[in-house]
Chains A and B, each alone.
Chain A
Amino acid sequence: MVNLYLLAALAPLVGAIVAGLFCRVAPRWLAAGVTIAGVAVSFVASVLIFNDVQAGHPFNGAVYTWLTAGSYRFEVGFLIDSLTTLMMLVVTFVSLMVHIYTLGYMKDDAGYNRFFSYISLFTFSMLMLVMANNFMQLFFGWEAVGLVSYLLIGFWYTRPTAIFANLKAFLVNRVGDFGFLLGIGLTLAHFGSLDYATVFVQAPEFANTTINLWGSAEWSLLTVICICLFIGAMGKSAQAPLHVWLPDSMEGPTPISALIHAATMVTAGIFMVSRMSPLFELSTTALSLVMFIGAMTALFMGFLGMVQNDIKRVVAYSTLSQLGYMTVALGASAYSVAVFHLMTHAFFKALLFLAAGSVIIGMRHDQDMRNMGGLRKYMPITWITCLVGSLALIGTPFFSGFYSKDSIIEAARLSHIPGAGFAYFAVLAGVFVTAFYSFRLYFLVFHGEERFGKAHTEHGHDEEHHGLAPGQKPHESPWVVTLPLILLAIPSVLIGIFTIEPLLVGDYFKDVIFVDAAARPVMVELAEEFHGAWAMALHAFTSLKIWLSPFWLALAGVVLSWFFYMKRPDIPAAIARRFSGIYTLLDNKYYFDKFNEIVFARGARLVGEGFWKFGDVAMIDGLVNGAARLVARVAALLRPAQTGYVYHYAFTMVVGLALLLAFWVLPLSLVK
């Protein structure tokens, strides 16, 4: 089987190398063909591996020894279990869809081959991340997906905004990786190994180990490790306050927003914490932090989605908010629920991004929703699939998002760790917010007055952002774009109803995800409440406590957005004027960017400048040059004596001789 694992991982790499190395000479069909074939092979292999694992053949073993040093051994290897195979299926399927979609989306782009190379390289990196059987390789994949994300955000490298965004994304992620690496270091220092299995087996023995970090305060070792690891997850999965890079990452081409910044890479943090469940389960403090951060992100990033006008940014903030939901589930010890939402979200959010991309093509690269409206007539497939995606996102009963999101809300309700109350409120309120911004987007884009085709002077007339000319109508996108939409719409509807039972109450994750059921019985209680997928959906309609029912909250959000944007479009503007303080706060994204810009970016530059000018130039070189100058000055004082004239020297000798004689002879004569 190892060969099959290697095939699954390496096939996209081969595609990436071929398309990348020869990107300037290879014909387009070759680059596209070889990468799509690579990912398709990988997808098929993933299906085979999935079946094999389901048949009871998980795998954990090394492929080669990367490095040995002292008593430590670092290996590159695979851990293939039900969590891995689920991630592999999601990654390769979405990646395949995005590859096909790219045929249409990037049709006119000069960087066509390069783009295919990057997304295949990404697929390889992501597979290495999820297939790793040790922390070191996890970190490898972790940073590699970060690299590809960096390359892709900056894909249009002549745009100043794009190259600002990609640097920002890389650096913010590096802040997370900083914590992550410290967590890995602590793990190695205390467990003596970076192999998952070895570490997890030993973990319970360290439950009461404390370490001294500062003064006399003793910290639980596992709490520190888990918090450090979670900081890594906060970077990659864009949790507040390390979320700032994700909205800006929308500067990249839309296919990668779907693949990387919605479906796969940003969920790496969720995957990682689920993988580390044997460690996190031993630290309630860490879980509380996880839950709190997730709840903050879920609610407050949702608010930001309500005021965005750029279609991609709405979806981006929605992604942030949904990642917050997953994180809340992690904090509630409902890891399998988090992974479940990760999966459903991967489908419907990839769908929404690709639909947004289709709209953007139709609008000729105008992304401002204020210039859209009424597109349903012109882009029927995009319209329907986007509606499906939105319904799944807001948690409409029977749609996949309903099952996963409702389970998260239930998990938050059932959890009793510190912070669970706030988290429950946040995820519940978030349902209303999600429904509002999702349908705000939907109505603004597909319904109402047709606002496109008007000359908008506020836009620059650079080539990338032209938009529709007056009188031009949008067209439905070609089949290579709409086919992935349809193929993603199907699981967006159906995947939840079919998989909730095995994933959440069944034993799909048995022996893979570890939950301390005695201390935190959330999953057990969830299972007790569960009476089948149909019953769960039907129950949503019959819930009586309207304010605590996600379904009614979502409906309220939809109705309100309909009222605001279809019925009385004057109201939102009036509200924005009336509550201008709050609006400004939201419009400036809580001033996170400004704060980072001033304190961290400018601060670091100033510190660097200061260190350099005062430390290196003034002090050290001042001393060095000062010493040199001192020598020069002393030399200058002595130099007049060195005239080079023989009679000067002769005169000096005579005087000297006289003095010496006086010195020796005079005392003698005095004695006489």
Chain B
Amino acid sequence: MSYPLLSLAIWIPVAAGIIVLSTGSDRNAGLARILALAGAMLGFVVTLPLYVGFDTTTAAMQFVESSVWIPNFNIHYRLGVDGISVLFVLLNSLITVFVVLAGWQVIKRKIAQYNAAFLIMSGLMNGIFCALDGMLFYVFFEASLIPLYLIIGIWGGPNRVYAAIKFFLYTLLGSLLFLLALIYLFNVSGSFSILEWHDLRIPQNAQIWLFLAFLMAFAVKVPMFPVHTWLPDAHVEAPTGGSVVLAAIALKLGAYGFLRFSLPIAPDAAHELTWLMIALSLIAVVYIGFVALAQKDMKKLVAYSSISHMGFVTLGFFMLSALSVEGALVQMISHGFVSAAMFLCIGVLYDRMHSRQIADYGGVVNTMPKFAALFMLFAMANAGLPATSGFVGEFMVILAAVKFNFWIGFAAATTLILGAAYTLWMYKRVVFGAMTNDPVRELVDLNRREFLILALLALCVLGMGLYPQPFTEVMHVSVDNLLKHVALPKY
């Protein structure tokens, strides 16, 4: 191991963010943009060796770094990735590049600060996926809230303060319980090492409490029903880049937490509460699917669709089979691409018309054919059409669900109808038809920058849909190991 790759993945974006911040006022906007893009791309490039050099035959942590951080409490700066987390580091770093590009001409004030917020957030989120120390995880987990809070609060829409505070309070509530759980685990084990916690023997009763504390923290982030209502508001008020990161990465943090904390530390509680988790997941799929149908605001619609898709992730996790867990992980990555693309598409429209209301559009295809074609691809991916990445995870989870219990599979499979209904109905009202609203006549098709971003995402979506094997290959051993671990009683 020559380079501390994980540290680089975390600190390059953060350092880049600080440098961008130092360019100061908007007079140096051009420089800030270029520095931000360079930082984001460098941040992405350093994550590539993580995939190339990844050993798919072991479930052990790889690229491990460890040094003492706070000796008094046995807190370490300890990093490492396994088959579950490594892909998210790459995804996050890639999405950051898109986000910087997406804000290129659109963000007109506090440009350095805007880009810096995204870069720093990107680094911190990489930290979450890499941290192997509970306290380090917690610090990253909480710190990443701040940039997102600022992004919504400063560059957001008219109702941004309500949304930002709602978002912040919701997540903070969960986080406090999470901190209590961490302190409990430290008291029991004398360590903050997550891997050591995995082997702790904890009484069933305590496991339940731990599980619930974790659940509060992670369920809010995912978000799971019924603690999801912050997400539509946050999305609606967030600038496009904020929505992209929120949907593509931030929602994955909670789901990742289930795999890193809830399942391995409290496996018996997980078994006991499977019914609860599956019930909440199915409510997310079905109930939220219907709610999405009723939305009149495109961003809200896609936000609800995100919740519904994340329902598949939690459903997959708690059916505890290799097919379902890998399906859920695939769904997470795919959702990263697809939701990012959907929000970028809505951003493209918003930048031109300054409206997110479906009713203000109609007939966009007449003036923006290139956009319409790409948006169609992403809409289809959102509806889970085969050959797009959206299909793979849903397919795996539904198949696993039918095996688990026919009626759970039945409920999950309703997404085939609901997902298509809300996505394509929106597409129809926005893109198809004659131009009834005058501003639509004035629309200009995608510029080169927009086209580049969406086309790259389209390649990701299609590539993953046609050949998902490289993605799941990485996960196999780690997922198997996790499932074996969860199957053993621990109290």
Contacts of B403 in A (CB 8 A): 185, 188-189
Q: In the bound complex, do residue B386 and residue A608 qualify as a contact, i.e. CB atoms below 8 Å apart?
A: no
Find out whether the CB atom of B363 lies under 8 angstroms from the CB atom of A624. no
Judge if A154 is at the interface, Cβ distance under 8 Å: yes
Which A residues lie within 8 Å of B53 (CB)?
Answer: none
- For B104, what are the chain A residues with a Cβ–Cβ distance below 8 Å? none
The answer to whether B398 and A24 touch across the interface, beta carbons within 8 angstroms, is no
A139, CB-defined interface residue at 8 Å: yes
Neighbour of A624 across the interface among B229, B395, B425, CB < 8 A: B229
Cα-based distance from A175 to B420 in the complex (angstroms): 10
- The reply on A72 being an interface residue by CB < 8 A is yes
Q: Are the C-beta atoms of A621 and B386 separated by less than 8 Å?
A: no
Q: Please report which residues of chain A, range 56-93, place their CB below 8 angstroms from some CB of chain B when the two chains form the complex.
A: 64-72
Given contacts A185-B409, A608-B292, A621-B229, contact A70 B321 (CB under 8 A): yes
Q: Do A70 and B323 have beta carbons less than 8 Å apart?
A: yes
CB distance from A144 to the nearest CB of B (A): 6
Q: Tell me, yes or no, whether B434 is within 8 Å of chain A by CB.
A: yes
Q: Which of B323, B417, B480 sits near A175, CB closer than 8 Å?
A: B417
In the complex, whether B177 has a CB less than 8 A from a CB of chain A is no
- List A residues 618-662 near B (Cβ within 8 Å): 620-621, 624, 628
Contacts of A66 on B, CB cut-off 8 Å? 467-469
List the A residue with the shortest CB-CB distance to B227. Answer: A620
Contact between A608 and B290, CB atoms less than 8 A apart: yes
Q: What's the least CB distance linking A159 to chain B, in Å?
A: 8
**A177: Cβ under 8 A from any B Cβ:** yes
Chain A proximity of B166: nearest CB distance (Å): 7
Q: Which of A167, A612, A620, A621 contacts B424 (CB 8 A)?
A: A167
Q: Are B290 and A185 in contact (CB under 8 A)?
A: no
- Chain A residues with CB below 8 A from B387, complex form: 140, 144
C-alpha gap A185/B420 in the complex (Å): 20
The answer to whether B413 and A611 touch across the interface, beta carbons within 8 angstroms, is no
Residue in A64, A143, A616 whose CB lies within 8 Å of B467:
A64
Residues of chain B from 411 to 456 with CB closer than 8 A to chain A in the complex: 413-414, 416-417, 420-421, 424-425, 428, 431-434
Residues facing B in A571-619 (CB within 8 A) are 604-605, 607-609, 611-613, 615-616
Given A68-B472, A615-B291, residue A147 in contact with residue B434 (CB < 8 A): no
Instruction: Give the contacts of A166-199 with B (CB-CB under 8 A).
Output: 167, 170-171, 174-175, 177-178, 181-182, 184-186, 188-189
**Contacts A24-B369, A68-B472; A607 near B290 (Cβ below 8 A):** yes
Bound CA span A187–B229, Å? 38
Q: Contacts A158-B434, A163-B428, A624-B229 given: A171-B406 contact, CB under 8 Å?
A: no
Asked whether B294 is an interface residue with its Cβ less than 8 Å from the other chain, the reply is yes
Chain A residues touching B, majority SS: helix
What is the CA–CA distance of A53 and B222 in the complex, to the nearest angstrom?
A: 53
| B291 and A70 form a contact (CB under 8 A) | no
- On whether the beta carbons of B420 and A174 are closer than 8 Å, the reply is yes
B279 beta carbon closer than 8 Å to chain A? no
Interface: B313 (CB within 8 A): no
In the complex, whether A4 has a CB less than 8 A from a CB of chain B is: no
Question: Contact at A143–B294, with CB atoms within 8 Å?
Answer: no
Question: Contacts A66-B467, A624-B166 given: A139-B386 contact, CB under 8 Å?
Answer: yes
Contact present for A620 and B434 (CB under 8 Å): no
Decide if A171 touches B291 in the complex (CB within 8 Å): no
- Say whether A69 contacts B291, CB under 8 Å: no
A184: contacting residue among B290, B293, B385, B399, CB under 8 A: B399
Main SS of the interface on chain B?
helix
Chain B residues with CB below 8 A from A65, complex form: 469
Say whether B386 contacts A144, CB under 8 Å: yes
Q: How far is the CA of A479 from the CA of B403 in the complex (A)?
A: 56
CB-CB under 8 A from B409, the residues of chain A are: 182, 185
Cβ–Cβ contact A612 & B291, under 8 A: yes
Q: Which residues of A contact B406 (CB under 8 A)?
A: 182, 186, 211, 213
Q: How large is the interface on A (under 10, 10 to 19, 20 to 34, 35 or more residues)?
A: 35 or more
Known A-B contacts A143-B385, A163-B432; the reply to A68 vs B469 at CB < 8 A is: yes
- Give A609 to B476 CA distance when docked, in angstroms: 41
Judge whether A563 is part of the interface by a CB distance below 8 angstroms.
no
Q: Contacts A160-B433, A177-B416 given: A615-B287 contact, CB under 8 Å? A: yes
Residue B133 at the chain A interface, CB threshold 8 Å: no
A461 → chain B, closest Cβ, in Å?
16
Q: Is B294 in contact with A609, judged by CB distance below 8 angstroms?
A: yes
A68 to B396, CA, bound (A): 10
A607 to B363, CA, bound (A): 28
CB distance from B278 to the nearest CB of A (A): 16
Is B213 an interface position by the 8 A CB rule?
no
Chain B residues, Cβ within 8 Å of A608: 290-294
A206 touches B (CB below 8 Å): no
| A644–B339 CA distance with the chains assembled, in angstroms | 50
Answer whether residue B310 sits at the interface, using C-beta atoms and an 8 A cutoff: no
Assembly CA distance A160 to B432 (angstroms): 9
The answer to the question of B365 belonging to the interface, with a C-beta cut-off of 8 Å to chain A, is yes
From A139, A157, A211, A621, B365 is in contact (CB under 8 Å) with: A157
Rounded to whole angstroms, the CA-CA distance of A615 and B293 in the bound complex is 14
CB of B426 to closest CB in A, whole Å: 11
CB-CB under 8 A from A616, the residues of chain B are 229, 291
Check A611–B291 contact: CB distance below 8 A.
yes
CB–CB A170/B293 < 8 A: no
Q: Does B23 contact A (CB under 8 A)?
A: no
B320 to chain A, nearest CB (A): 11
Whether, in the assembled complex, B401 has its beta carbon less than 8 Å from a beta carbon of chain A, the answer is yes
Rounded to whole angstroms, the CA-CA distance of A461 and B389 in the bound complex is: 44
Q: Closest residue of chain B to A75, judged by CB?
A: B469
CA distance A332 to B376 in the complex (A): 42
Bound-complex Cα distance A414 to B192 (A): 76
**Contact, CB under 8 Å: B402 / A605:** no
Question: How distant is the Cα of A624 from the Cα of B295 in the complex, in angstroms?
Answer: 21
Contacts of A151 in B (CB 8 A): 376
Smallest Cβ-Cβ distance to B421: which chain A residue = A171
Q: Given A171-B417, A178-B417, A182-B410, decide whether A72 and B386 contact each other with a Cβ distance below 8 A.
A: no
Name the one of B376, B421, B472 contacting A67, with C-beta atoms under 8 angstroms. B472
Q: Which residue of A lies closest to B402 (CB)?
A: A185
Residue of B nearest to A177 (CB): B416
A186 partner, pick from B166, B321, B402, beta carbons under 8 A: B402
Q: Give the distance in Å from the alpha carbon of A24 to the alpha carbon of B363 in the complex.
A: 18
Proximity string of chain B (371-402) to chain A, C-beta cutoff 8 Å, 1 when within and 0 when not: 00000100010000111000110011011011
Cβ contacts A to B, 11 pairs, < 8 Å: A69-B472, A151-B376, A158-B363, A158-B366, A158-B433, A163-B432, A170-B420, A170-B424, A181-B395, A185-B399, A604-B421
Closest A-B pairs by Cβ, 8 of them: A185-B402, A70-B322, A608-B294, A189-B403, A608-B293, A608-B290, A163-B432, A609-B294
Given contacts A66-B467, A188-B399, 5 further A-B contacts (CB under 8 A): A66-B468, A160-B433, A185-B401, A185-B403, A211-B406
Residues of chain B whose beta carbon lies under 8 Å from any beta carbon of chain A: 166, 169-170, 226, 228-229, 287, 290-295, 321-323, 326-327, 363, 365-366, 369, 376, 380, 385-387, 391-392, 395-396, 398-399, 401-403, 406-407, 409-410, 413-414, 416-417, 420-421, 424-425, 428, 431-434, 467-469, 472-473, 476, 480
